[in-house]
Structure 1
Amino acid sequence: HLKDTGKSPKARQIAAIRKAGCLPIVRVIARGLTQDQALLIEATLLWQLGKFTTNLVAGHNSRQIFREHDTLHRNEPGFDFSRRIHFFNMGNYEHRCWYDCRTHGFVSAGYGARYRDQAKKLQAGDIVVVYLIKKGYVGVGRVLAEAVPAREFRVGKTPLRKLRLKAPKMLHDSDDLENCEYVVRVKWLVANKQEGALWKPGLFTTQLVRPSLDNQPKTRRYIEDNWNVRFEDLLAEGE
């Protein structure tokens, strides 16, 4: 550090100390650290001061692991939530059906806090891969907005109650915010009819509403190959 002759703020400060006829002093504030740990602590202290989190001498860049300044008032992907690829269980019932979801751009879950909370954990930019129960995979979509009660959801300017839905009880328990249906707006990248569901033995399935597909590489590859999508690219496009 003391040999740094560049134009960084740190180098200018060292030069000013020497110009004044003094010697820069280095004091140890932590010991027993690896180089990476030491650089991370340095970057943390710089971040706290509101300065750049780049160590120019060592070529160590910590920008990827520190949030930008002045963003504490909003949710930041990768810090407050991470964009992920989610399996989403879908069934055809009186209160929810794939036809309506595919036609009007949404997924939904309801009938209790357990299911409501799974829908509410989806964040804008997440990718949902819809599995139609007993049929197979039918769609891939990008989440556009967080879940809202069905009574508040609009298709354009039209509320769900004014649409001719295939699921006649979609607005069940409308006045009960724990048990009503929660609707998540989605932009479909692939949305097949149930007759075109993608399935073969060995693909991932579960009774859970919204598990991650992070640890299901075989299923992800099969979907990518058959639908000509690349999940890594889709997540990057949402950045």
Structure 2
Amino acid sequence: MSEHDALLVEKTLLWKLGKDLSNIATGFYSENFRPDYKMHIELTGFDFENSVYYFNVGQGDTRLWVDCKKHGFISAGGSKLWRDSIMGFRKGDVLAAYLKGNGFVGIGRIVETPRPIRHVTIGGVPLLNAGLVSNGMDRDLQSDEKCEYVAMVEWIRAVDAGEAKWKAKSGIYTTTHVRASLDGQPKRWRSWKASSASTSGHSCNDARFPGSWKAASKSWPP
């Protein structure tokens, strides 16, 4: 039986038996099977794969990098297009934060998926009451289409705007898009993807992806 056929059988059994199915004989390949009682949630490695992204953090009346850096988040909003862009992030994704006109200002990992800012708290305190420098993040607060959406981030390395990393004509990828995949970019970008996998408890067996978060952050940008 091929791996594809085996996984198809497993998926059929999970669909049929649901929460009553348990891998009694876990065996050598137990880590390749979905954990018990997790059909109701999406799991990295089973329902989706984490990836590494470029993210344009934006700077203006609505949001400021100084707030993102201090409180550990990224945000976007104002229209369905910008909302949908940030909603593409999954917990565990890696991001390279780019500040237009300055350069790269942070390397981080998503620790909480995006949601409307009115639902975001830090230590039990609403983010909007956490002393933000920006006074525009409450724009269209009750609109699910136009309000600011926030994803919490663990910054592995973050610097002030004046210390942004940039090297002209180096071939480093940038775009006007809010979010873009860096999976097809040079090897050093991809090494951060492997680091995110080990940090979130998932192994990466691809020899092209060596290193650690600490080592990767020391050498950024590539």
* TM-score w.r.t. length of structure 1: 0.70
CA distance in 2, matches of 1:220, 1:46: 34
Letter in 1 for 2:127: L
| 1:137/1:198 contact within 8 Å kept | yes
| 1:174/1:180 contact within 8 Å kept | yes
CA distance in 1, matches of 2:188, 2:195: 17
Letter in 1 for 2:195: D
The structural deviation recorded for 1:47 is: 6.1
The structural deviation recorded for 1:121 is: 1.9
Report what 2:9 is aligned to: 45
Report what 1:232 is aligned to: 194
1:136 paired to 2:103: yes
Output aligned runs, 1:1-239, within 5 Å. Answer: 37=2, 40-42=4-6, 44-45=8-9, 48-49=12-13, 64=32, 67-68=34-35, 70-200=37-167, 201=169, 202-217=171-186, 220=189, 230-239=192-201
Aligned length: 190
**SS of equivalent to 1:145:** strand
1:34-70 CA-to-partner distances (Å, cap 9, x unmatched) read: xx74x54256436645697x9x9xx9x6964x54454
CA distance in 1, matches of 2:63, 2:186: 29
1:8-30 CA-to-partner distances (Å, cap 9, x unmatched) read: xxxxxxxxxxxxxxxxxxxxxxx
The structural deviation recorded for 1:165 is: 1.9
Letter in 2 for 1:90: V
| 1:88/1:128 contact within 8 Å kept | yes
* TM-score w.r.t. length of structure 2: 0.75
| 2:51/2:193 contact within 8 Å kept | no
| 2:97/2:106 contact within 8 Å kept | yes
Point out which structure has higher relative CO (alpha carbons under 8 A, 6+ apart).
2
| 1:119/1:147 contact within 8 Å kept | yes
CA distance in 2, matches of 1:151, 1:42: 44
